[in-house]
Amino acid sequence: MGFFLNLNMSIKEKIIKFATKFQSDDIAKSYPLDYCVPVYHAVSNYHLPHLKHIINYKSEQEFEQDLDQLSQHFQFVNWDEFKEFINGNFKPKKKIALLTFDDGLSEFHDVVVPILERKGIYAINFINPKFIGNTDLMYRCKASILMERVLKSDERELHVFQDVLPNDNFKKLLIGKLNKIKYEERNKLDLLEKSFKGGYRDYLIDYQPYMTLDQLKSVTAKGFGISSHGFDHPLYHELTLEEQMKNSIQSHYFLKKFHFIEESFAFPFTDFGVKREFFEEIFSINDLFCSFGSAGLKVDSFAKNIQRIPMEKGKDANQILKEEIAYFNLKKIVNKNTIQRK
């Protein structure tokens, strides 16, 4: 994978931090691509147990600061303008940005859309149909809820383990185990639910973490986009090709049925390790315009797969972009700026 990709994460971060010190403040000029695709999940001023331990989501103030910073460097575009730009038929005044969100969370409807309407900025949200309407929770959200309850175990929220869970070392061990549960092991989270007071069904009713179908239609009517993020948020490189296709096509049928954007797809988690045969097959079947990964500032050997920049890193947009540019320039030295698909 190359020298920089194999570094211990802490060492890698130190090198990027050092390189960022020499990065120009003129981000628009130093940004190496003509487009930027930032990705968020949720924006909230509140404590959200289903996200708190898996996503470092931003407050409303932090999100608006990001938007203002991004607007200084890029011209925000809508989905049609983005397509026209990629096809060479749209000439913006400066480099463009397509704002994206993942997972179809209710904060998009309740918090994000009002902010974007006020600022005149478009966004597209990539959703998992299985969870729309709060019929179920994505398995990582279930893990986050259980982690929250473990941390609060000294408040006697559990049915079992009362004598050991208040011990901080045991809490840390159990949280580590919960954090490592994979998609194919997600039934373990349903079994563990029985050890805690208040199940996922109660949580879904109380919090309503996902948008409803009516809310999806509402944000679409306001001019925002809804597209595919897989059916139930698996990690794609852990699936067989058949499973990858089935998950993608199930999501595509939902979009088609309700007249959402069918011509794009954003990988859940990451597109790392996904082979070229998947791209070739899904593009031939679903007539996609493009797909999206989330590997940061990179290009892809499969040209129609566009990488996005994760923005929920506990830093503002300017700092994230500077670090991405610095890392891009470092990898350029060893010719590792392009993701290769086998």
> Domains of the chain (ranges plus CATH)?
4-133+211-339 (3.20.20.370), 139-205 (no CATH)
The pLDDT, as a whole number, for residue 24 is 76
The pLDDT, as a whole number, for residue 3 is 39
Blockwise average pLDDT, block size 10, the chain, 342 residues: 48 76 84 98 97 97 98 98 97 97 98 98 98 97 94 59 61 91 96 84 96 98 98 98 98 97 97 97 93 97 97 97 93 88 90
* CB 99 within 8 Å of CB 117: no
Tell me which residue of 57, 32, 62 sits closest to 46, measured CA to CA: 57
Bridge partners of residue 225, in order along the sequence: 124
Structure tokens at 239: 């699936």
The pLDDT, as a whole number, for residue 186 is 96
The pLDDT, as a whole number, for residue 14 is 78
What is the three-state SS of the chain? CCCHHHCCHHHHHHHHHHHHCCCCCCHHHHCCCCEECEEECCECCCCCHHHHCCCCCECHHHHHHHHHHHHHHCEECCHHHHHHHHCCCCCCCCCEECEEEECCEHHHHHHHHHHHHHHCCCEEEEECHHHCCCCCCCHHHHHHHHHHHHHCHHHCCECCCCCCCCCHHHHHHHHHHHHCCCHHHCHHHHHHHCCECCCHHHHHHHHCCECCHHHHHHHHHCCCEEEECCCCCCCHHHCCHHHHHHHHHHHHHHHHHCCCCCCEEECCCCCCCCCHHHHHHHHHHHCCCEEEECCCCCEECCCCEEECEECCCCCCHHHHHHHHHHHHHHHHHCCCCEECCC
Q: CA geometry: angle at 237 spanning 146 and 132, to 5°?
A: 50
Query: What is the Cα–Cα distance from 142 to 137, expressed in whole angstroms?
Result: 6
The pLDDT, as a whole number, for residue 165 is 54
Structure tokens at 33: 């691509």
Query: What is the Cα–Cα distance from 139 to 145, expressed in whole angstroms?
Result: 10
The pLDDT, as a whole number, for residue 154 is 60
Query: What is the Cα–Cα distance from 255 to 250, expressed in whole angstroms?
Result: 9
The pLDDT, as a whole number, for residue 8 is 58
The pLDDT, as a whole number, for residue 6 is 47
Phi-psi label, residue 268: left if phi above 0, alpha if psi -120 to 50, beta otherwise:
beta
